[in-house]
């Protein structure tokens, strides 16, 4: 994926300008630092403006005044404090599915923590063969390549771990409104704002790689969802009552995700259980659960150390590893 030289210079120019946003950089200084001619630098500055950066440019200087809220690799990695997650970020305006690209990258040896992110998906996939509505400009569609040193049966816990990292990120934007609907949805005010689709490649009893796909509704307004989705979905913007800076939210998520994942690699979900219980939308409620072709009814009472849901069926506790849950309203 070779980018045109003007885009590459624009990236390098941006890194310099960002060090002191608002400072007027003399063109001579930039030319010397970037080994480029003034005319090429001005073309790179124009490229930055085309990407949405606000610059003040004249024949002798360039000044950065504002950055756009675009999910580009440059914006996302600026001052990112993680050491693994987002070590490499592949950012796209439009893709079919970020999970597909991440799986292909992983097959070709992509390092753990590689992130594929897009502003829009044309074939976004949800669980159980559903579509994930992925319009441009409002959400974030993210896939993360992981290579956990664990047997495949431990992998489902990673979806819950991801939900926890999302919940804790969203808590900063919408305090006390966040819940996790086991096994992989995050709710704000009882409506779905994020979904997780984890796809696994395993061989000889070991996880080869795993792609965690996250669809996150951030800046959609109430009328931006198709009718059927609008009945059950929401966005961070709707719940917080203000527009959200997507780049800031996604970067915070990467940081949370990395600390949860570091813990998971050592302890699986053991240390996360108290917080998983705290955020659970199901514990204490009567539920109906479709696990395979079996319909299970009972009261959700706990989450087990391996991430299974524990359901009380008239005094007998049943442990369910995965399934589609409905809370029964009485």
| Strand bridging mode 61-66 / 54-57 | antiparallel
Tokens of 54: 């606000």
Site membership for ligand BTN, residue 195 (CB under 6 A): yes
Touching ligand BTN, residues 172-191 (CB under 6 A): 185
Site membership for ligand BTN, residue 147 (CB under 6 A): no
| CA atoms lying within 13 Å on the CB side of residue 141 | 29
Q: How far is the CB of 124 from ligand BTN (least distance, A)?
A: 4
Q: Which is nearer to ligand BTN, 41 or 186 (CB)?
A: 186
- The candidate with the shortest Cα–Cα distance to 141, out of 106, 101, 107, 87, is 101
Tokens of 114: 């590689």
Please pick, from the candidates 110, 167, 178, 196, the single residue that binds ligand BTN as defined by CB under 6 A.
196
**How many residues contact ligand BTN, by CB under 6 A?**
20
Distance CA 272, CA 252 (A): 18
Site membership for ligand BTN, residue 218 (CB under 6 A): no
At a CB cut-off of 8 Å and minimum separation 6, what does 150 contact?
A: 207, 265, 268
Site membership for ligand BTN, residue 254 (CB under 6 A): no
Q: How far is the CB of 119 from ligand BTN (least distance, A)?
A: 12
Please pick, from the candidates 213, 298, 307, 323, the single residue that binds ligand BTN as defined by CB under 6 A.
213
Q: Which is nearer to ligand BTN, 62 or 117 (CB)?
A: 117
Site membership for ligand BTN, residue 99 (CB under 6 A): yes
Please pick, from the candidates 130, 206, 265, 267, the single residue that binds ligand BTN as defined by CB under 6 A.
130
**Cβ-count burial 63-95 (b if 16+ within 10 Å, e if not):** bbeebebbbbbbbbbeebebebbbeebbbbeeb
Instruction: Tell how far CA 183 is from the center of its chain.
Output: 17
Site membership for ligand BTN, residue 92 (CB under 6 A): no
Please pick, from the candidates 18, 55, 87, 126, the single residue that binds ligand BTN as defined by CB under 6 A.
126
Burial bucket for residue 125 (CB in 10 Å: 0-12, 13-18, 19+) = buried
Q: Which is nearer to ligand BTN, 26 or 226 (CB)?
A: 226
Instruction: Tell how far CA 47 is from the center of its chain.
Output: 27
Site membership for ligand BTN, residue 197 (CB under 6 A): yes
Give me the residues that bind ligand BTN (CB under 6 A), please: 97-99, 121, 124-127, 130, 132, 141-143, 185, 195-197, 213-215
């Amino acid at each position: 994926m070779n980018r045109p030289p003007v885009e590459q210079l624009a990236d390098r120019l941006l890194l310099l300008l960002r060090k002191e946003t608002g400072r007027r950089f003399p063109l001579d200084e930039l030319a010397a630092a970037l080994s480029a001619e003034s005319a090429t630098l001005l073309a790179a500055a124009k490229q930055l403006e085309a990407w949405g950066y606000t610059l003040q440019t004249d024949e002798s200087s360039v000044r950065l005044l504002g950055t756009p809220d675009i999910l580009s690799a440059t914006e996302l990695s600026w001052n990112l404090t993680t050491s693994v997650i987002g070590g490499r970020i592949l950012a796209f305006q439009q893709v079919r599915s970020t999970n597909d690209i991440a799986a292909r990258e992983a097959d070709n040896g992509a390092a753990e923590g590689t992130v594929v992110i897009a502003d829009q998906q044309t074939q976004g996939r949800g669980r159980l063969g559903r579509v994930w509505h992925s319009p441009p400009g409002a959400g974030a569609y993210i896939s993360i390549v992981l290579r956990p040193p664990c047997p495949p049966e431990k992998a489902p816990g990673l979806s819950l771990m991801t939900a926890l990292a999302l919940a804790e990120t969203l808590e900063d934007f919408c305090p006390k409104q966040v819940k996790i609907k086991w096994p992989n949805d995050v709710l704000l005010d009882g409506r779905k704002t994020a979904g997780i689709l984890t796809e696994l490649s395993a061989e000889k009893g070991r996880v080869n790689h795993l792609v965690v796909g996250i669809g996150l509704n951030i800046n959609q307004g109430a009328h931006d969802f198709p009718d059927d989705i609008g009945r059950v979905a929401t966005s961070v913007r709707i719940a917080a009552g203000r527009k959200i800076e997507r780049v800031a939210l996604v970067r915070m998520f990467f940081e949370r995700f990395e600390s949860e994942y570091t813990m998971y690699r050592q302890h699986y979900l053991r240390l996360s259980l108290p917080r998983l219980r705290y955020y659970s939308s199901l514990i204490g409620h009567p539920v109906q659960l479709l696990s395979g072709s079996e319909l299970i009814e009972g009261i959700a009472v706990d989450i087990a150390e391996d991430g299974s849901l524990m359901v009380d069926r008239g005094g007998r506790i049943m442990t369910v590893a995965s399934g589609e849950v409905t809370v029964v309203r009485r």
